[in-house]
């Protein structure tokens, strides 16, 4: 099916997100489930191994060096796998969302396979985005708080000083949270830029910042709705675990039985959380791809470019000069013709 692009309101984007998700549920669920499932399995195996080692090598109340060494080994093995899974999940969902938006057929394997050729570029992009959006503002806030606490210590102990330092620390934390939120919104559609336009990490961030202007408020509302949905589903998913624990406690079970019930409840909660992550991860990815296309339509006339592509009128000729506004190729007259003219 050939998709028709046009400027959309927030309600239309949310409605289109729901439609694409419903029509391609198994595609999005599969792309989200494979990396997340790998991480879940790795975490479960690592937890069992570390728990066994901790019980076997415990000395008093402190873990033995062997258990600590095993924990470090598990982290060193699990961290790269988790990072790779995060890259495949986020980029794979973006690829799947873009293909579904354009009305193209793509499989789970096809979406994940597209990540492999440019994996390191995507990894660098996610790292750079995380540094700019979260790490740098948090580091500046932490350094500022440290200075405030140090100055408060020099000023001497006292209620007034403590209140003043506490108020300033609160202001710094609030300001950092606002800055991080603004950066998240500003760079929110940079990943679709990196994936769909195959730009470098830095160029994608710059273009994403420019492209998101004028729609950040709508993206913020979308994020709020997704968070509200996640909280509601999370509360519902916790009900089975609560029922298991309270049923065991109400029945006057022995301590061993109570511990088994607690373990079962935790396993149930972990499985439901996995299902929750798989179910909710595609929503924001689909919506951000739709916001990306909507901004290109509004600012760059992508709907016209798309119609020309569908009509076969925008294929670049051997001698062609690009028109930056729409990405359309304009033919260049041969040198002899120019001379004759």
pLDDT digits (tens, 9 = 90+) for 289-340: 999 999 999 998 877 777 776 676 665 433 333 333 344 444 444 444 433 3
Q: According to the model, what pLDDT value does residue 28 have?
A: 93
- Phi/psi region, residue 103 (left: phi>0; alpha: psi -120 to 50; beta: rest), is left
Q: Is residue 317 part of a domain?
A: no
Give the global pTM. Answer: 0.78
Neighbours of 259 (CB within 10 A): 12
What average pLDDT is seen over the chain? 79
Q: How confident is the model over 284-293, as a mean pLDDT?
A: 95
Please list, in sequence order, all residues whose beta carbon lies within 8 angstroms of the beta carbon of residue 162, skipping any fewer than 6 positions away: 152
Are 69 and 60 within 8 A, CB to CB? no
Q: Is residue 314 part of a domain?
A: no
Q: According to the model, what pLDDT value does residue 75 have?
A: 74
Please list, in sequence order, all residues whose beta carbon lies within 8 angstroms of the beta carbon of residue 210, skipping any fewer than 6 positions away: none
Q: How confident is the model over 275-282, as a mean pLDDT?
A: 84
Q: Is the pLDDT assigned to residue 74 strictly greater than 60?
A: yes
Top mean-pLDDT range of 25-39, 75-89, 90-104, 148-162:
90-104
Are 282 and 22 within 8 A, CB to CB? no
Alpha-carbon gap, residue 142 to 145, rounded angstroms: 5
Q: Is the pLDDT assigned to residue 262 strictly greater than 60?
A: yes
DSSP string of 264-283, one letter each residue: HHHHHHHHHHHHHHHHHHHH
Can you name the residues that pair with 323 across neighbouring β-strands?
328
Count of domains for the chain: 1
Q: How confident is the model at residue 81 (pLDDT cuts 50, 70, 90)?
A: confident
Top mean-pLDDT range of 65-69, 233-237, 328-332:
233-237
**DSSP symbol at 64:** -
Residue of 157 and 17 predicted with greater confidence: 17
Can you name the residues that pair with 320 across neighbouring β-strands?
331
Give the residue numbers spanning the domain of 259.
Answer: 10-306
Please write the tens of the pLDDT for every residue from 178-226.
Answer: 999 999 999 999 999 999 999 999 999 999 999 999 999 999 999 999 9
Are 114 and 141 within 8 A, CB to CB? no
**DSSP symbol at 118:** G
Please write the tens of the pLDDT for every residue from 3-28.
Answer: 567 888 999 999 999 999 999 999 99
Which residue in this structure is represented by tokens 């592509």?
Answer: 309
Inter-CA distances, 313 with 156, 258, 306, 322, Å: 75, 70, 10, 13
Q: Is residue 219 part of a domain?
A: yes
Q: Is residue 5 part of a domain?
A: no
Alpha-carbon gap, residue 314 to 329, rounded angstroms: 6
Please write the tens of the pLDDT for every residue from 83-137.
Answer: 888 899 899 999 999 999 888 889 999 999 999 999 999 999 999 999 999 999 9
Q: Is residue 335 part of a domain?
A: no
Q: Is residue 337 part of a domain?
A: no
Q: Indicate the helix (H) or strand (E) that contains 323.
A: strand 320-323
Return the closest-CA partner of residue 86 out of 37, 47, 19, 36.
36
Alpha-carbon gap, residue 331 to 256, rounded angstroms: 80
Return the closest-CA partner of residue 132 out of 67, 77, 58, 182.
182
Q: Is residue 338 part of a domain?
A: no
Q: According to the model, what pLDDT value does residue 337 have?
A: 40
Please write the tens of the pLDDT for every residue from 46-62.
Answer: 666 656 655 555 544 44
Alpha-carbon gap, residue 80 to 78, rounded angstroms: 6
User: Distance between alpha carbon 80 and the CA centroid of its chain, in Å?
Assistant: 17
Residue of 195 and 156 predicted with greater confidence: 195
Q: Is residue 149 part of a domain?
A: yes
């Amino acid at each position: 099916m050939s998709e028709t692009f046009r400027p959309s309101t927030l309600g239309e984007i949310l409605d289109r997100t729901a439609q694409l998700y419903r029509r391609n549920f198994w595609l999005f669920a599969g792309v989200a489930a494979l990396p997340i499932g790998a991480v879940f399995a790795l975490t479960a195996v690592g937890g069992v191994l570390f728990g066994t080692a901790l019980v076997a090598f415990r000395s008093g109340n402190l873990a033995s060096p062997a258990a600590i060494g095993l924990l470090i080994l598990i982290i060193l093995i699990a961290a790269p796998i988790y990072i790779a899974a995060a890259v495949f999940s986020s980029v794979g969902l973006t690829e799947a969302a873009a293909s579904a938006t354009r009305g193209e057929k793509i499989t789970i394997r096809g979406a994940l396979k597209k990540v492999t050729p440019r994996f390191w570029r995507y990894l660098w992009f996610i790292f750079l985005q995380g540094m700019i959006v979260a790490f740098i503002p948090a580091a500046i806030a932490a350094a500022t708080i440290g200075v405030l606490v140090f100055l408060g210590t020099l000023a001497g102990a006292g209620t007034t000083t403590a209140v003043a330092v506490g108020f300033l620390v609160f202001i710094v934390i609030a300001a950092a949270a606002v800055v991080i939120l603004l950066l998240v919104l500003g760079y929110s559609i940079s990943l679709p830029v990196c994936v769909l336009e195959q730009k470098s990490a830095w160029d994608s961030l710059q273009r994403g910042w420019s492209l998101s202007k004028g729609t950040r408020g709508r993206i913020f509302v979308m994020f709020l709705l997704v968070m509200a949905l996640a909280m509601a589903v999370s509360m519902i998913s916790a009900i089975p675990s609560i029922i298991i624990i309270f049923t065991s406690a109400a029945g006057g079970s022995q301590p061993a039985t109570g511990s088994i019930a607690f373990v079962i409840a935790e396993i149930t909660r972990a499985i439901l959380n996995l299902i929750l992550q798989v179910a909710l991860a595609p929503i924001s990815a689909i919506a951000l791809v739709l916001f990306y296309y909507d901004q290109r339509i509004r600012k760059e006339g992508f709907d016209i470019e798309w119609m020309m592509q569908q009509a076969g009128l925008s294929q670049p000729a051997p001698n062609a000069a690009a028109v930056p506004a729409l990405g359309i190729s304009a033919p260049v007259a041969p040198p002899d013709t120019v001379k004759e003219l």
